[in-house]
Amino acid sequence: MKLTHQELHSLMKNKLMQAGLTEEHASIVADVLVHADLRGIHSHGAVRVEYYSERISKGGTNTHPNFTFEKTGPCSAIFHGDNGSGHVAAKLAMDEAIAMAKENGIAVVGISKVGHSGALSYFVEMAANAGLVGISMCQSDPMAVPFNGAEVYYGTNPIAFAAPGEGTDKIIFDMATTVQAWGKVLDARSRNVAIPDTWAVDANGKPTTDAHAVHGLLPIAGPKGYGLMMMVDVLAGVLLGLPFGKSVSSMYHDLKEGRNLGQLHIVIDPAKFAGAEVVRQGISRMMKELNEIKPAEGVDMVFYPGQNTEIAEREALANGVEIVDEIYNYLISDAIYVNSYDNKDPFAS
């Protein structure tokens, strides 16, 4: 099923409003979800709406949060999210971070006590669109097996980066610190396709290609990914006085309760370093030079990081967004949710 991005936005916004979000908040959440689906990151798009709707309906997402922005220094602040929608809190916090970085050269803004915020690329792209460099990272459920470990401890703990080039050029990079994000496994389940045996392990700690058998995700590059997971949990959790490691709340445990997750935005103004134009020229030159690298045998072209999702976005804007029929049928149905997630094993099928 293909939909225009406007049609998809409208369907998701309406469903989230039916669940209880205000029109303003539902529109922002739908913006972030459409961004993900356009870029081919379907694990963070429409597939998430039913989960969000169930949590909203049951009270685990505060539909009228008391958002407050606490400046703790000229370049530092905490955005208190009051367990509102993570997408909304992260967007508003990035707005504040952009303003602070433009004034003082750099901003470090922690986001405290929120729910899941979706694809981080959305928020760092905001910074790049403002001519700034953006970095964002956040906590997630304990679903990853530490290097040499036999049980989960950290989450997929993603990191995103964006920088502006000349004109409309920008480079955007968004990654989980596991080989793949949990949402990619969910996407594979929804499509009934196998996953590579390098993504995850089963209940016995053995590599699996069955998306329905996953009981632990693997860190990227072994100990290196493990170290990055730790870094994210320190900066987005410990630094804000929030739960960390295996104490981070599960996405699916008790949807009546807020998740108390943490996130961190870092925004840098290039004008305070080499200069805005020098940096923009450097970014565009880097993008061009990477594309001109001799490709490996069997490969047409070397992409700069994130270029594949940029291409996917252009194609989806022109030709429509591919949505699984089951998800489309849910979005057009009268059902707000069908009790699919509450108190479920996070790895359950």
Q: Find the range with the poorest average confidence among 188-192, 252-256, 345-349.
A: 345-349
CA nearest neighbour of 49 among 27, 28, 30, 64: 30
Give yes or no for a contact between 148 and 97, defined as CB atoms under 8 angstroms apart. no
The CB density around residue 92, as the number of other CB atoms within 10 Å, is 17
**CA dihedral of 292, 297, 299, 305, whole degrees rounded to 10:** -60
| Partners of 134 in beta bridges | 162, 267
Helix (H, G, I), strand (E, B) or coil at 215: coil
Task: Please give the residue that has the higher pLDDT: either 149 or 286.
Answer: 286
Taking 70 as the threshold, does the pLDDT of residue 314 lie above it? Answer: yes
Domain ranges of the chain: 2-276+309-332
Site of tokens 């029109």: 23
Task: Please give the residue that has the higher pLDDT: either 297 or 207.
Answer: 297
- Write the DSSP assignment of 138-158 as a string of letters: E---S-BPPTT-SS--B----
pLDDT at position 348, please? 67
Burial class (CB in 10 A: 0-12, 13-18, 19+), 202: middle
Furthest-apart CA atoms within the chain: distance in Å:
55
pLDDT at position 300, please? 96
CATH topology of domain 2-276+309-332: Ribosomal Protein S8; Chain: A, domain 1 (3.30.1370)
Length of the chain equals: 349
* pLDDT averaged over every residue in the chain: 95
Instruction: Assign 186 a pLDDT band (cuts: 50, 70, 90).
Output: confident
Angle at 29 between CA 24 and CA 30, to 5 degrees: 95
Catalytic positions are 116
pLDDT at position 190, please? 81
Q: Which helix (H) or strand (E) holds 223?
A: helix 223-236
* Model pTM score: 0.94
Taking 60 as the threshold, does the pLDDT of residue 5 lie above it? Answer: yes
Instruction: Assign 349 a pLDDT band (cuts: 50, 70, 90).
Output: low
- Write the DSSP assignment of 78-132 as a string of letters: EEE-TT--HHHHHHHHHHHHHHHHHHHSEEEEEEEEE-----THHHHHHHHHTT-
Taking 80 as the threshold, does the pLDDT of residue 347 lie above it? Answer: no
Taking 90 as the threshold, does the pLDDT of residue 187 lie above it? Answer: no
Mean pLDDT of 130-156: 93
